[in-house]
Amino acid sequence: MSRILKVGLAGCGSVSQRGLIPHLSQPDLRDRIEFRAVMDPVEGRAKATAERYHIPLWYEDYDEMLEKADLDVVVIASPIGFHFEQGMKAVQAGKHVHFNKTMTTTKAEADELIAAAKAKGVKLVASPGQMQRAIHQEAKRLLQEGVIGQLYCAITGRSWIGHEYESFREGEDIISNVNPLWYYQKRAGGGPMYDMVVYSMHTLTGILGPAKRVMGMSGIGLPERRFKDQRVVVDMDDNTHLLIEFDKGVFAHVYGTFASGPRRPELQFSGSSGSMDLGREGIKVYGDPALFGVRQAVLEAPASAFGNLPYVTGVHVNLPESHVFSDIMHLVDCVLNDKEPVVSAEHARHVIEIFEAGYRSAQTGQVQEITTTF
Ligand SMILES: NC(=O)c1ccc[n+]([C@@H]2O[C@H](COP(=O)([O-])OP(=O)(O)OC[C@H]3O[C@@H](n4cnc5c(N)ncnc54)[C@H](O)[C@@H]3O)[C@@H](O)[C@H]2O)c1
């Protein structure tokens, strides 16, 4: 008889309500998972969620869920500052864990978590699994093939005015009235790097390989943020810029701001004979005008040419946050078929070390060496 994994989820906020819970509740998954429990500390939110999606168990206390719900897999979608502690508790209880970005906020925590998971024989998958996307693998192949000559540098990053502007949060009911002001607080793991730039950094390092050194500049733009009638004094940087050195003298500028985004492709590469844009529209390679005449794309591959992410089929194609669903099902697949995750905790740790080192560089004014690899 094939095994069915019992899954519980911590944190019933925006990403869970819009994406994770609708995905995990679909009947087509019942041959692999039983979505058994949800947990959220805000009174009434887990109960209302369980009732809406017909989930048998709900809790307002994380430890109680771990103790009583008889889970195989825990999906963590709480504020980022809780991820390390909740991940460690789940690992110690013998559960496999999916982190809805980012796994921890320090390298030391990531080291501890990876060692504990190994000792307990459980698996970790930390979103986002950017290199599961065929378009990113193709970009890596083209660069290695020398399509733009010798690679010089890259620019990437994420900017967005802030989670208080998510339309999901406009309602007044217990499920959608979710306060996002933790995104501006240090102790809660706030800031644009751990939340948004984690995508750019997984893609960049997935394509270029591990980083060697980092310099940072970082600060706070708006000193106060508001959500409905509540306000918070911002104590986490919301305007961070890193300069990163890779192998063979390749440099990247990586930015993260809770401010309006510049209109540019998600990732741009510049080489000795051309440049490459990578983003929602696909891949565009431009030969340098001095070598190839007018600036026009010499290679165009629309994003639609690269198909869906693994496990994203049927109803899941049109549900939001399907990339996170894909990562969760990757963990399920690895547990059921005893495979090592490709979306690895080691890659997540490398990205976390770059962020931590970048903040340290911004404070000290010193270049920081990166020690981890993946
Ligand atoms: N909002 C998005 O667009 C989005 C998209 C993808 C991933 N994410 C990631 O998902 C995670 C959650 O983000 P979000 O935007 O859904 O946050 P959110 O603020 O909307 O929701 C967080 C939920 O966690 C609950 N919570 C607070 N303390 C908790 C605890 N100790 N244990 C369990 N739950 C707790 C809150 O009550 C709230 O319901 C973050 O890691 C974020 O980076 C967010």
Number of residues assigned to the chain = 374
Determine which residue's CA is closest to atom 33 belonging to ligand 1. 11
List pocket residues of ligand 1, CB cut-off 6 Å. 10-16, 39-42, 45, 62, 77-80, 82, 100-101, 163, 178, 180, 195, 321
Atom index in ligand 1 nearest the CA of residue 82 equals 31
Residues carrying CATH 3.30.360.10, the chain? 131-307+351-369
The residue among 17, 168, 167 whose CA lies nearest residue 100 is 17
Query: Domain 5-129+313-343, what architecture?
Result: 3-Layer(aba) Sandwich (3.40)
- What's the CATH number of domain 131-307+351-369, 1.10.287.130, 2.40.33.10, 1.10.340.30, 3.30.360.10? 3.30.360.10
Among protein residues, the one with the nearest Cα to ligand 1's atom 30 is: 78
* Minimum CA distance residue for ligand 1 atom 3: 15
Supply the pLDDT for residue 298: 87
- Shortest-distance Cα residue to atom 29 of ligand 1: 78
pLDDT, tens digit, for every residue of 223-282? 999 999 999 999 999 999 999 999 999 999 999 999 998 788 999 999 999 999 999 999
Instruction: Identify the residue whose tokens are 């003298």.
Output: 249
Protein residue closest via CA to atom 31 of ligand 1:
82
Pocket test for ligand 1, best of 38, 83, 100, 351 (most atoms within 8 A of CB): 100
For residue 78, the CA-to-ligand 1 centroid distance in Å is: 4
- pLDDT on residue 206: 98
Tell me the pTM: 0.97
10-residue mean pLDDT profile of the chain (374 residues): values are: 89 98 98 98 98 98 98 98 98 98 97 98 97 97 96 98 96 97 97 98 98 98 98 98 97 98 91 95 91 82 94 97 98 98 97 98 98 98
Instruction: Determine the distance separating the centroid of ligand 1 and the alpha carbon of 105, expressed in angstroms.
Output: 15
Which tens digits make up the pLDDT trace of 123-160? 999 999 999 999 999 999 999 999 999 999 999 999 99
Measured from the Cα of 127, ligand 1's closest atom is 7
User: Cα–Cα distance between 38 and 13 in angstroms, integer?
Assistant: 11
Q: How far is the CA of 46 from the centre of ligand 1 (A)?
A: 13
What is the rounded CA–CA span in Å between residue 93 and residue 66? 7
82 Cα: distance to centroid of ligand 1 (angstroms): 10
What is the 369 CA–ligand 1 centroid distance (Å)? 31
- What's the rounded Cα separation, in Å, for the pair 148 and 146? 5
Residue ranges, CATH 3.40.50.720, the chain: 5-129+313-343
Per the listing, tokens 């005015």 go with 161
pLDDT at 2 (0 to 100): 67
